[in-house]
Homo-oligomer: A and B are copies of this chain.
Amino acid sequence: TLQHLFKQIFQLSLGLQEDDNRKALLVSRKKKPEDTIVDLKGIKIGNGEQHLITGPCSVESYEQVREVAEAMKAQGLKLLRGGAFKPRTSPYDFQGLGKEGLEILKRVAEELDMVVISEVMNPNDVEMACEYIDVIQIGARNMQNFDLLKEVGGTDKPVLLKRGLSATIDEFVKAAEYILAKGNGNVMLCERGIRTYERATRNTLDISAVPILKQETHLPVLVDVTHSTGRRDLLLPTAKAAFAIGADAIMAEVHPDPAVALSDSAQQMDISQFNDFVQSLRDAGLYKL
């Protein structure tokens, strides 16, 4: 019927508009065809080299961070992540050392010439945190904390944005757009597993998200193998898959003594496992740095 045709034409024009919006996104390859390379104190993410980002889930003490950092250093790794502000399901779980944790990270980084990545959860903390850290991490639970995104968009710090627990790729891309729209183009996207019905892993690593994000955006794409699997025995195989599919960097958690870690003890590697992990990736020809 005629009425129906008009309705279809209306929907068609909506489609065209949607298409234009996508074209207009700052994160889109249509807007900027060439890869964005994010510079982390001299280490380039997004230039084709593939990196490892490691460190403890939570910063617990200077000694703990230092021990992990030394092990990283011995392997030639400089990208150190550690949590000072910890989003925890229960208010009675360890909430992180806060500013004190950032101070520890900065001290170790200065001693060993490393790059510090740490999560910020509150817009109020962004300015303070920037004095201590080199890369601001936005965690999965805050992917759509839009005031936080706007706040970090107003800084010139590189941002590591994690995909939300059940965010679509489209929502993920638009969350990054919030940051670019405020003027900060140094954004890295991190796939960290999505929530599905499957219980064998903590989350389901959506490995296909890597090539999709690389195609649709010009931003570097990372994979967090620790949180996507929640299982120490899966870190190595999923890291291989992530490098093979083209991830610009892989994140994994390391703790001197995982059994007594204040968070995520079941999924962190100890130093010896970490060394095996790096070596195995090198032996497989997948990690070349």
Binding site for B on A (CB under 8 A): 4, 8-9, 11-12, 15-16, 19, 21, 24, 87-92, 95, 121-124, 141-142, 144-147, 165-166, 168-171, 174-175, 177-178, 181, 194-201, 204-212, 215, 228-229, 233-234, 237-238, 240-246, 284-286
- Stoichiometry, as copies per complex, reads 4
List 12 A-B pairs, Cβ < 8 Å.
A8-B12, A12-B12, A24-B92, A87-B144, A141-B144, A141-B145, A169-B198, A194-B198, A208-B238, A212-B234, A241-B244, A285-B285
Q: In the complex, what's the smallest C-beta–C-beta distance from A247 to chain B, in angstroms?
A: 10
- Which residues of the other chain, B, contact A8 by a CB distance below 8 angstroms? 12, 15-16
Q: Does A145 lie within 8 Å of B146, measured CB to CB?
A: no
Given A123-B124, A145-B145, output 16 extra A-B contacts at Cβ < 8 Å. A8-B12, A11-B12, A88-B146, A91-B181, A92-B181, A141-B145, A170-B200, A196-B196, A196-B197, A198-B206, A204-B206, A208-B234, A237-B246, A240-B244, A244-B244, A244-B284
- Which residues of the other chain, B, contact A198 by a CB distance below 8 angstroms? 168-169, 194, 206
- Which residues of the other chain, B, contact A89 by a CB distance below 8 angstroms? 144, 170-171, 174-175
- Which residues of the other chain, B, contact A244 by a CB distance below 8 angstroms? 240-241, 243-245, 284, 286
Q: CB < 8 Å: which of B174, B206, B242 contacts A91? A: B174
Nearest B residue (CB) for A247: B241
A143 to B123, CA, bound (A): 16
A235 to B170, CA, bound (A): 20
Q: In the complex, what's the smallest C-beta–C-beta distance from A171 to chain B, in angstroms?
A: 5
A240 to B228, CA, bound (A): 19
- Which residues of the other chain, B, contact A207 by a CB distance below 8 angstroms? 205, 207, 238, 241
